Structure 1
């Protein structure tokens, strides 16, 4: 049986790997976007936020006397890279990426809500503040993506009607 602290530390490690996966998904997307500058700009901003989230998670792991799992980080980064590569072959790459990003942001939201519950259980007040910061950034990104899906889809359709390469 695991103690609440052990479950919490495992959750921090999982969140660290999850954020590395997010970076592996976003970096290739940003580098490929041509006709959707608002998406590129928001993804760039979220890359910076995600790097800050990793720093906060490292701080919390250090505080528990632990560190991130290199194996989990690497495995999920590879998975993220493969996911981004898979969409790059689709004619509607930008639309598929927006769907996948929205789903991933909501996964991250759920993960941080779970971690916050565990941080409260182990009475780690500093962690509550740092994890709430991460959660707030994920919620903001999810809300932005939610509001962007329809206009992005319509822009893709409009560009597809012209001779412009609309996929990115």
Structure 2
């Protein structure tokens, strides 16, 4: 299957974190100083949100969801969607007239010592930070807000288990 001509305005945001709530951030290669969690668009309109998240995590960090140390259950769909205006600098990637994106939020718990292998054309470096510091460093307001929800999201999940 060939890649779509334009990016699909549906993407995932995956907050990768260790059990102690340290959060993994990655710096964009083409925008130095722009720190973020894993993000990425669907490849096709019918691609499942979770499959998009798993694919993007693997592409951007080398983390394989489904591996023994990162089971599928480590990926949690927060059932949260943000709709935001696409930054003008990136609108050329989308079909003419597309100005907004729908972003589905996930959390992924991984061991703190999980090896990270960045896609060098996309990201130049990574850092683990305590959740509040990670939220402060994000350039994206929706990314920062998702990180700030992390303790509550984990508490809710732990309370159900």
Q: Compute the TM-score of the two structures, normalised by the length of structure 1.
A: 0.27
Q: Compute the TM-score of the two structures, normalised by the length of structure 2.
A: 0.28
Where is the helix percentage greater, Structure 1 or Structure 2? 1
Where is the strand percentage greater, Structure 1 or Structure 2? 2
